[in-house]
Amino acid sequence: MPRMSADIRHRLRFRLNGRAVEGEAEPRMLLTDFLRHALGMTGTHVGCEHGVCGACTIQIDGVPARACLALALQVDGADLRTVEGLAPQSGRLSELQQAFRRHHALQCGFCTAGILMSLDWYLRDHPDPSEAELREFLGGHLCRCTGYTPILAAALDAAKRMREAPPDA
Ligand code: FES
Ligand code: FES
C-alpha cells in the first residue's frame, strides 16, 4: 500500500454487491465505518471492533473477512459483498436467509449478518457439512441469544435444500 498523508481524505473505488462505489476516506477510517456511515450500508454490524465476535463479517474478493480489521482504503479496487447483497433479487430471500427465518435462527439479529456472510461462503465449498463441522466453523462467531441450536438447524436445512436444488440451477 502506498504511503498516504494521514490528515487528508483519499479517493477509493470498489465494487459493492455488484455495483461500482466511490468515495473518500482518511487513512485511519475503518471499513466498517465507511460502509455504515459513508455509504449508509448498516446491515454490517459492529460489535467488538477487534476481530473476535464476527458481527462485521463481509466477503472481500469472495472470501469472508472482518470488516472491523480492514481500513477503507485497503479495499480500493476490490469486490465486496455484504448482507445487503445476499438476496438474489428484491423481495426474494436467499435459501440460507429463508432457512434462518424458518428455524427462528436469530433473536436480536446482531450477529446474524456476519454469520450469514460466513455461511454463504462456507456452504459453497462444503455442500454437505456435518453438524460437528458447522459447530467448528461457527466458533468464529459469537451469538449471545440463540444458543446456536437454531442456527445449526438452519445451516443444515439450507445446505440440504441447496444440494437438492442448487441456487443457479
Ligand atoms: Fe469485527 Fe467483532 S466487530 S469481529
Ligand atoms: Fe442476538 Fe445472535 S441473535 S447475538
Tens-digit pLDDT profile for residues 76-129: 999 999 999 999 999 999 999 999 999 999 999 999 999 999 999 999 999 999
User: Which three three-digit cell numbers place residue 93?
Assistant: 430471500
Predicted local confidence at residue 68, as pLDDT:
98
**Protein residue with its CA nearest to atom 2 in ligand 2:** 143
- Ligand at shortest distance from the CA of 107: 2
Upper half-sphere CA count for residue 124 (Cβ side, 13 Å): 10
Can you give the residue ranges of every domain in the chain? 10-85, 95-164
The domain 95-164 having CATH identifier 1.10.150.120: the answer here is yes
Predicted local confidence at residue 166, as pLDDT:
76
Contact 22, 66 (CB under 8 A): no
64 strand-pairing partners: 59
Give the pLDDT mean for 137-156.
97
pLDDT tens, 10-53?
Answer: 999 999 999 999 999 999 999 999 999 999 999 999 999 999 99
> Quick check: CB of 147 below 6 Å from ligand 2?
no
Residues with C-beta less than 6 Å from any ligand 1 atom: 46-49, 51-56, 66, 68
CATH of domain 10-85: 3.10.20.30
pTM of the model: 0.95
Measured from the Cα of 105, ligand 2's closest atom is: 3
Cα(15) to centroid(ligand 2), Å: 29
The pLDDT of residue 145 is above 90 = yes
Residue 6's pLDDT band (cuts 50, 70, 90):
confident
